[in-house]
């Protein structure tokens, strides 16, 4: 069973930055990967996607602020988040796309002054 471990979250002021990391116990070669988030009282949503050839796509509200990347050999996926806003506050998860693996514990991102 693939295990996902997210890290890098924390408390940051509006306008700040965070870099999230996700390690995958299995291979990610040939697999579309994505970052998702779930805010309190809301459904989980896909934030950023990266294909096997490195093409990326983003939720409209994070375009130009977030950057997803991957390291196939390390089995890792990253999310660089800049110009953070309070509405980015959520638990962030990584998974394949579409999400078929068991979810990890996620990492909490809180944007607040």
Helices and strands (DSSP H and E) totals, the chain: 0, 10
Instruction: Find the helix or strand (DSSP H, E) in which 39 lies.
Output: none
pLDDT at 18: 98
Alpha carbons within 13 angstroms on the beta-carbon side of residue 63 total: 6
Q: For the chain, what is the mean pLDDT? A: 96
Task: Write down the pLDDT at residue 26.
Answer: 85
pLDDT at residue 19, rounded to an integer: 98
For position 70, what pLDDT does the model report?
Answer: 97
Residue 86 phi, psi (nearest 5):
-55, -35
Q: pLDDT tens digit string along 34-73?
A: 999 999 999 999 999 999 999 999 999 999 999 999 999 9
Question: 3-state secondary structure string, 11-53?
Answer: EECCCCCEEEEEEECCCCCCCCEEEEEECCCCCCEEEEEECCC
């Amino acid at each position: 069973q693939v295990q996902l471990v997210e890290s890098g979250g924390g408390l940051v002021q509006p306008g700040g930055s965070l870099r999230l990391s996700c390690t995958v116990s299995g291979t990610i070669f040939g697999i579309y990967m994505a970052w998702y988030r779930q805010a309190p009282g809301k459904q989980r949503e896909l934030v950023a996607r990266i294909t096997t050839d490195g093409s990326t796509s983003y939720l409209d509200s994070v375009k130009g602020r977030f950057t997803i990347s991957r390291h196939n050999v390390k089995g890792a996926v990253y999310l660089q988040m800049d110009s953070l806003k309070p509405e980015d506050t959520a638990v962030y998860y990584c998974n394949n796309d579409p999400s078929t693996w068991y979810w990890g514990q996620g990492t909490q991102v809180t944007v607040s002054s």
